[in-house]
Structure 1
Amino acid sequence: MLTHLSIHNYALINQLSIDFTKGLSIITGETGAGKSILLGALGLVMGNRADLSSLKNTEKKCVVEAEFALNGYDLNSIFEELDIDYEDDTIIRREILPSGKSRAFVNDTPVRLSVLSTLKARLIDIHSQHQTLELSDEGFQYSILDALAKNSAKIASYKRGLRKYNSLKKVLKELQEEAQKSTEQYEYNLHLFNELEEANLQLGEQQALEEKLDKLNNIEDIKLNLSESLHIVINDEIGLQTQLNSLENKLQKISGYANEYEELFSRIASVKIELDDVVAELESENEKVDFNPAEIEELNDRLQLIYSLQKKHSVGSIKELLKIYEDLGEKVAQVEGASDLIQNKEKEIKEVEGKLDDLANVIMNKRNKAIAPLQKELKYLLAELGMPNAEFLIEVKSSETFNSYGKDELTFLFSANKGGSFGELKKVASGGELSRIMLSIKNILSKNVQLPTIIFDEIDTGVSGEVSNKIATIMNDMANHMQVITITHLPQIASQGQQHYKVYKGEENGVTTSNLRLLSYDDRVAEIAEMLSGKDYSESALTHAKELLTK
């Protein structure tokens, strides 16, 4: 609950510091005294947007600080999700600098405004007349019924399942789209793959083929030079072998005379052995050299195939072609295996869908059981608030599709007059009726769920007499379960609070300011008397005020 509020340099407020307690607190004051400024300051600290017009003195910063007692509200997990430190007494501070920059802090830790907005939903509910339109919001209507049906755990489980379900469906759609896209290219990719597979390309093949073809294309020149080389070597008269044999014989004759001659002889003998080996190879190569047009054609065809594939795929090597072959294989396999992936994903979706169906049915059944008690309680409370013929009809219809709230559709129907036909709440209820309906619903909810501090901003506008007494009774009833702060202009309601604050205007150095103070008993008597009969209240008004305070 809200325990303390301090405001510095905001709108008409120079400096304000006020404590709040549990139960029902009343705020009164003349029109224009600054009640809306208080709500604006609270909205600021709860994450609302602000600008330099918020600063009373544009040369100084504006600071709004709110302290909340959180013990017993089970908010630790929220703080953990937001990655901020939890404190039983949590302080939220908002600063607007003269430069226009805004800063926010939770327990002195800087935070984004989105963090304040998240906390706002769990800490404080500022309810004004125009916010009765929330009654027409589908999400709010579900939250009312689910609160009474004790569906919170089931709803949380359902929403987790729904997120998984939607995520799986998204993945399935992507798989199907990818499969469709891939299928359109499948035949072409398969053709390219088969073409490369049939080619049976080998690393290093191209260079070997090119060398072999070059050799065959120059076969006559090779044959001629090999033959002439052999003639040079083995000619009986002037061949190298004959000359080398003669040289060997000459050196052999003198080899015994000196070591250097013997060494020369040995070296010539080695040369002769090497030459004999060269001759053998020359003869072998010469015999193998044969002009073969068929082989040339075959090599040309193979190389043309390689060149054609390289041109087709815009690459310059077999290595690159083999990489393309590998990639095409993966694409073809992906399409061929896509149906298995899709079937597995569909099966997984079916399983999650079954669990969601079961959860949605449990949720709907619990909602149906909560409808009759809610309708009965609303009828009773609205009769107390001057609407004796008001009737609610809440319909829950099964749906074919999952939505954020289950697998059903919820409709709040309302009739204000006896024998009148039912219509959608948002279409047939007036503003005053919506205010009383909202008050009744908040009262019911306060007994069933842990609501945050609620602030009613003149929700009693347009009512008087006995109805205002009933509104006060309902607010007091709510205050037994939560902190209730109400801004009111009705003395019957103002007299019911455990605490009573007055907003008033003053003047400082010739400048109008707004202030808030806690009233003593005598102050309350005077304030309520003024609310009853104006500033020049009579003794009877004072007596009436005291009577209201003693009720």
Structure 2
Amino acid sequence: MLKEITISNYALIDYLRIDLSKGFTTITGETGAGKSIILGGLSLALGKRAELNLVKDKTKKCFVDLLFSLKNLELKNLFNSLDLDYDTLTTIRREIIPSGKSRAFVNDTPVNLEILQKLSFELIDIHSQFQNHFIIKEEYQMDILDLLAKNKNLIEKYTLNFSHFKEVKNKINKLESSRINMNQEKDYNTYLLNEINSIDFSDSLDSMEKALKKISNSEEINKTFNQISNILQNEENGISIKLNEVRVSLKNITNFSNEYKRIFERIESIIIELDDIVRDVRNENDIMEFNPEMREVLSEKLEKIYSLFRKHQVDKLDDLILIKRKLEKKVSETENIDAIINEEKKKLVELELSLNELSKKISQQRKKVIPVLKSQMKKLLKDMGMVNTSFKIELYDSDIFLNKGRDKLLFNFSANKGGLLGPLSKTASSGELSRIMLALKSILSNYKNLPTIIFDEIDTGVSGEIANCIGRIMKSMSINMQVISITHLPQVAAKANNHLKVFKITRNEKTSTELKNLNINERVSEIAEMLSGDESAVSAYDLAKELLN
């Protein structure tokens, strides 16, 4: 329940703290006293759009604090899902700072308006005569029926399956519509893939480029090797001949010094290494010959690779391999599209069976509670002076799956005995809609664990015994929840456990809205004034005491 409202620097309010109690509380006051301002501040804290023009002193911060008691309310999971700290005494705060920016907090944790509105939906229902249009909407009517039918779990399962159903159906439609394009793309992708597959990826690009360069320069290579061989092995003055002469000369003096011997051994090592070089040069020279066929093969292969590089805008074989894999996947997907579509259609059939089963159960539950709702509505409307009205609930099957089953719903109404029944939007006046909505709210209070409801002058346009009945209904609702009614009707105000009066006061030529919690004598005076416009009138005073008793 809502325990406390604190409003500061908002519209005509300098600072106002309102302590609230459980049960039925009424708020009264002259037109223009500021009742709507208090409600506006409350709505601001619950997530309504902030307006800078409602800040009284633009140089100071405006704020509204709401203190809720969450005792006996199962809201811990909701707080966890919204990543909020749970406390049985929870504070919601909304601020508008001088720059015009607004901030919201739940238990001192900053939150966005979406989170604030989700939490507020579970804590409080503010209903005004301007919201009566909800009742003419089929979605709202269905929500009422489902609440009475306790369809929450079934609806959640249905909604999840229906979401999957639409996803699968859309996927099938996209696959079928794109099948022609995919087949056309398949031919092109297959062509590209065959081009890439014609390349041998076993050799690296670097090794192929070096091999081509080697073959292309074979004459120069042979010439160089021949020159080297001649320098090394010339019979007259080749390096090998000269080194052997050095070797023989050194051998004759090796016995004279260990150092000479080491020089001799080094010369021998050079001769051995030189012999190896000579053999390698000879071998390379023997195998190095101009091969025009091999050069042609390598040239064509490299040109094909370079061409594919340009086509696919890459410069490495690894990148070309990645493109190859992507093309293989596309071709494979195209080849398997019929199988994919058939698989998705199987899923669709399974989901359709599940949706049919769930929608059937949902519909059965709805049909069970329709007589109960109709009976309760008839009684409450009769109590509110709508004796000759007819109220009928029609539930009929739809050809397609809808958001919450396959049912279509219509609340039909006639205000006059023997009158033609028709949709509420066409047959009910605004006053009748207010009473119909109050009757529904009264019924829902026995089913929905909503802690607080606020009625904002929904009793406008009624009087006498009907006003008495409206007061009794609100009083009855307050057994299960906190009810706050902003009213001009003394009959309604007299039924409340607590009575708050809103009034304006002028100090230093500045007007502000204030509020007072009335005691029993003050209540008698206030209700007497509401009855006659003059609290001192004896008859009104006596009637006020009678109403309160």
TM score, norm. by length of structure 2:
0.85
Measure the CA separation in 2 of the matches of 1:251 and 1:98: 104
Question: Structure 1's 297 and 417: CA in aligned 2 closer, same or farther, altered over 3 A?
Answer: same
Counterpart in the other structure of 2:128: 128
Deviates more, 1:148-157 or 1:181-190: 181-190
Deviates more, 1:284-293 or 1:474-483: 284-293
* Letter aligned with residue 96 of structure 1: I
Counterpart in the other structure of 2:44: 44
Matched, 1:503 2:511: no
- Give the alignment of 1:205-354 within 5 angstroms: 207-208=207-208, 211=211, 215=215, 244=241, 259=255, 301-315=300-314, 318=317, 320-337=319-336, 340-354=339-353
Aligned residues: 546
- Contact kept? 1:62, 1:96, Cα under 8 Å: yes
* Letter aligned with residue 515 of structure 2: L
State the secondary structure of the residue aligned to 2:324: helix
- Could you report, residue by residue, the CA deviation over 1:79-108 in whole angstroms, capped at 9, with x for unpaired residues? 112211222122222222333232322223
Question: Structure 1's 268 and 400: CA in aligned 2 closer, same or farther, altered over 3 A?
Answer: same
* Letter aligned with residue 542 of structure 1: Y
Deviation at residue 160 of structure 1 after TM alignment: 3.5
State the secondary structure of the residue aligned to 1:199: coil
Measure the CA separation in 1 of the matches of 2:8 and 2:247: 123
Counterpart in the other structure of 1:432: 431
Matched, 1:119 2:119: yes
Deviates more, 1:93-102 or 1:272-281: 272-281
* Letter aligned with residue 328 of structure 1: L
* Letter aligned with residue 357 of structure 1: N
CA RMSD in angstroms comes to 3.7
Deviation at residue 346 of structure 1 after TM alignment: 4.4
Counterpart in the other structure of 2:416: 417
Deviates more, 1:132-141 or 1:252-261: 252-261
Deviates more, 1:274-283 or 1:319-328: 274-283
Deviation at residue 486 of structure 1 after TM alignment: 0.9
- Contact kept? 1:392, 1:415, Cα under 8 Å: yes
Deviation at residue 332 of structure 1 after TM alignment: 2.8
Deviation at residue 519 of structure 1 after TM alignment: 1.4
Identity %: 44
Deviation at residue 446 of structure 1 after TM alignment: 0.8
Counterpart in the other structure of 1:481: 480
Question: Structure 1's 486 and 336: CA in aligned 2 closer, same or farther, altered over 3 A?
Answer: same
- Could you report, residue by residue, the CA deviation over 1:207-256 in whole angstroms, capped at 9, with x for unpaired residues? 4576368547756x777888899899999xx6779x959x9799979966
State the secondary structure of the residue aligned to 1:48: coil
Measure the CA separation in 1 of the matches of 2:19 and 2:247: 129
Counterpart in the other structure of 1:102: 102
* Letter aligned with residue 74 of structure 1: E
* Letter aligned with residue 124 of structure 1: I
Deviation at residue 320 of structure 1 after TM alignment: 4.8
Deviation at residue 61 of structure 1 after TM alignment: 2.4
Counterpart in the other structure of 1:407: 406
Deviation at residue 278 of structure 1 after TM alignment: 8.0
| Structure 1: runs of 5+ lacking an equivalent | none
- Contact kept? 1:5, 1:19, Cα under 8 Å: yes
Counterpart in the other structure of 1:381: 380
Question: Structure 1's 291 and 158: CA in aligned 2 closer, same or farther, altered over 3 A?
Answer: closer
TM score, norm. by length of structure 1:
0.85
Measure the CA separation in 2 of the matches of 1:437 and 1:174: 47
Measure the CA separation in 2 of the matches of 1:73 and 1:249: 112
Measure the CA separation in 2 of the matches of 1:104 and 1:547: 45
- Contact kept? 2:535, 2:541, Cα under 8 Å: no
- Contact kept? 1:213, 1:300, Cα under 8 Å: no
- Contact kept? 1:217, 1:296, Cα under 8 Å: no
Deviation at residue 28 of structure 1 after TM alignment: 1.4
- Could you report, residue by residue, the CA deviation over 1:281-321 in whole angstroms, capped at 9, with x for unpaired residues? 88877877777665665555555544544554455565554
Matched, 1:5 2:5: yes
* Letter aligned with residue 502 of structure 2: V
- Could you report, residue by residue, the CA deviation over 1:334-376 in whole angstroms, capped at 9, with x for unpaired residues? 4445555555454445434433332222111111111122122
Deviates more, 1:204-213 or 1:253-262: 253-262
Question: Structure 1's 498 and 333: CA in aligned 2 closer, same or farther, altered over 3 A?
Answer: same
Matched, 1:524 2:523: yes
- Contact kept? 2:392, 2:412, Cα under 8 Å: yes
* Letter aligned with residue 431 of structure 1: S
Counterpart in the other structure of 2:511: 512
- Contact kept? 1:210, 1:303, Cα under 8 Å: no
Question: Structure 1's 251 and 499: CA in aligned 2 closer, same or farther, altered over 3 A?
Answer: closer
Deviates more, 1:406-415 or 1:260-269: 260-269
Measure the CA separation in 2 of the matches of 1:94 and 1:549: 37
Matched, 1:191 2:191: yes
* Letter aligned with residue 90 of structure 2: T
Measure the CA separation in 2 of the matches of 1:384 and 1:540: 27
Measure the CA separation in 1 of the matches of 2:377 and 2:385: 12
- Contact kept? 1:203, 1:319, Cα under 8 Å: no
- Could you report, residue by residue, the CA deviation over 1:391-423 in whole angstroms, capped at 9, with x for unpaired residues? 222222323433332232222222222222222
Deviation at residue 442 of structure 1 after TM alignment: 0.5
- Contact kept? 1:202, 1:318, Cα under 8 Å: no
Counterpart in the other structure of 2:79: 79
Question: Structure 1's 279 and 239: CA in aligned 2 closer, same or farther, altered over 3 A?
Answer: farther
Matched, 1:202 2:213: no
State the secondary structure of the residue aligned to 1:126: strand
Question: Structure 1's 196 and 216: CA in aligned 2 closer, same or farther, altered over 3 A?
Answer: same
Measure the CA separation in 2 of the matches of 1:216 and 1:107: 82
Deviation at residue 142 of structure 1 after TM alignment: 1.5
- Contact kept? 1:528, 1:545, Cα under 8 Å: yes
Measure the CA separation in 2 of the matches of 1:470 and 1:118: 33
Question: Structure 1's 272 and 63: CA in aligned 2 closer, same or farther, altered over 3 A?
Answer: closer
Counterpart in the other structure of 2:371: 372
Counterpart in the other structure of 2:161: 161
Question: Structure 1's 431 and 193: CA in aligned 2 closer, same or farther, altered over 3 A?
Answer: same
Question: Structure 1's 339 and 469: CA in aligned 2 closer, same or farther, altered over 3 A?
Answer: same
* Letter aligned with residue 204 of structure 1: S
Deviation at residue 36 of structure 1 after TM alignment: 0.9
Counterpart in the other structure of 2:22: 22
